[in-house]
Amino acid sequence: MNFIWTLLFMALIGALIGGYTNHLAIKMLFRPHEAKYIGKWRVPFTPGLIPKRRDELAKQLGRTVVEHLLTPETFKRRFFSDDMRRKAELWIQGQLTKHLFESNLTLQQWLTKAGIENIPSLVEDKIDSVIDEQIESLESRFASKTVKELAPEQWQQQADERIPEIVSYMIAKGETYFASEEGRKTVKRLIDDFLSSKGTFGNMIQMFMGESSTIVDRVQPEIQKFLHAPGTFELLANVIRGEWEKLKDRPLNELIGGFDLQPVIKVVKSYVKQELALEKRLDATLQSYWPDGADWTAHNLTPKMTDFIFAQGEIKLEETIQRLKLEEMVEEQVDSFPVQRLEELVLGISRKEFKMITVLGAILGGLIGLVQGGIVYVLNMM
């Protein structure tokens, strides 16, 4: 009977020792949280294993995350897959369609949202400024140059070739005019004015020639003969050609020096603004100007935009990960994480397993106690 009690006692002691030592070993993973000192002497096994090795744990965990968990290849498989590309393209096109092409906002309202106001006034002021600048530039550039320097060679050649046509036209019109009643009246008025201006000499001519009407009857055919004469054509052609050559050698500022350009400029500005009608054009939606915009962007813009974004993302991914310094971030977070909270986290996940380890230690201790009791009994029997 004593043997049985001895075995049971030794088994109980072994179980207590085994269970408690395992429980103590688990606790020593985290406890104590800080080093304990007796004077200047640090108590062995303080702090616990994990608090003591937290710096090494943080570095190793950061290295593991960067080298094996959050690698560039992991991000590429997750964020740059064909499925993700299709989803991104659909999302971008959906946002463009919803917020641009199906929106009731006018162009003016879009500009206001962007912080740009008074666009019509700004544009009209810019038009005035541009026109004024261009006029000033043209004046400063061409004012001192001659017509010959400014006019294209082809234009000058065409003008020279048109001189005979101009002379023929002038002679034909002169013949028609002087043969008409109006031309007769003009000749008579000129003769009367001439004779009256000569005083007594004019009266004498009138006495010999008769009334001015008689003189007109004699002068009018002579004018027609003069116009029909071959030398008249050459005379007029030479005169016009000479004046044209003089005109080509004159500077442009002499020709337009007395011409006020401001009314013309004002009319040009008014015409441009009227044709532009900017306020009316801005008071319309994008859909009214571009009804097929959604379809066009879906086939032409969005796919290229998505491809560009993903291509640039893949190129910059590794550089971005390096700039994020994930290893340092993980290390800093682990270093700043309270050991008590880490202990609660680990025990919350593995509490059952730790209890089983404690129980297993008690069982093994009990079995060892039984074996020791048996050994003691055998030795006593000998």
3-class DSSP state of 117: coil
Could you tell me the maximum CA-CA distance found in the chain, to the nearest angstrom?
195
Query: In this predicted model, what pLDDT tens digit does every residue of 117-150 receive, in sequence order?
Result: 788 888 888 888 888 888 777 777 766 777 777 7
Place of tokens 């006029």: 135
pLDDT tens digits for range 163-184: 888 888 888 888 888 778 887 7
Inform me whether the pLDDT recorded for 220 exceeds 60: yes
- Mean pLDDT value across residues 246-272: 76
How much of the chain exceeds pLDDT 70, in percent? 75
Tens digit of pLDDT for each residue in 280-314?
888 888 888 888 888 898 888 899 999 898 888 88
**Does residue 203 have a pLDDT over 60?**
no
| Predicted pLDDT at 33 | 60
Structure tokens at 104: 């009731």
Of all residues in the chain, what percent are helix, strand and coil, respectively (each to 5)? Answer: 80, 0, 15
| Tokens of residue 300, six digits | 């032409």
Residue 243 CB coordination number (10 Å): 10
Whole-model pTM over 0.85: no
The predicted structure's pLDDT at residue 91: 92
Q: What is the pLDDT of residue 102?
A: 84
Angstrom distance (rounded) from CA 67 to CA 289: 53
pLDDT higher than 70, residue 259: no
pLDDT one-digit tens code per residue, 69-115:
777 777 777 788 888 888 898 999 888 888 888 888 888 888 888 78
Q: Pull the structure tokens for residue 80.
A: 């740059």
Alpha carbon separation from 318 to 23, 314, 360 (Å, rounded): 46, 8, 48
Residue 208: predicted pLDDT = 46
What number of CA atoms fall less than 13 Å from residue 63's CA on the CB side? 6
Number of neighbouring beta carbons within 10 Å of residue 368:
17
User: Is the confidence at residue 205, as pLDDT, over 60?
Assistant: no
CB count within 10 Å of CB 127 equals 16
pLDDT on residue 237: 84
| Token reading at 184 | 């007769």
pLDDT at residue 202 tops 50: no
What 3-state class would DSSP assign to 69? helix
Q: Which residues of 18-44 are buried (b: 16+ CB within 10 A; e: fewer)?
A: bbeebbeebeeebbeeeeeeeeeeeee
| Residue 249 main-chain phi, psi, to 5 deg | -90, 0
Task: Give the per-residue pLDDT at 210.
Answer: 47
pLDDT exceeds 70 at position 48: no
Model pLDDT, residue 337:
65
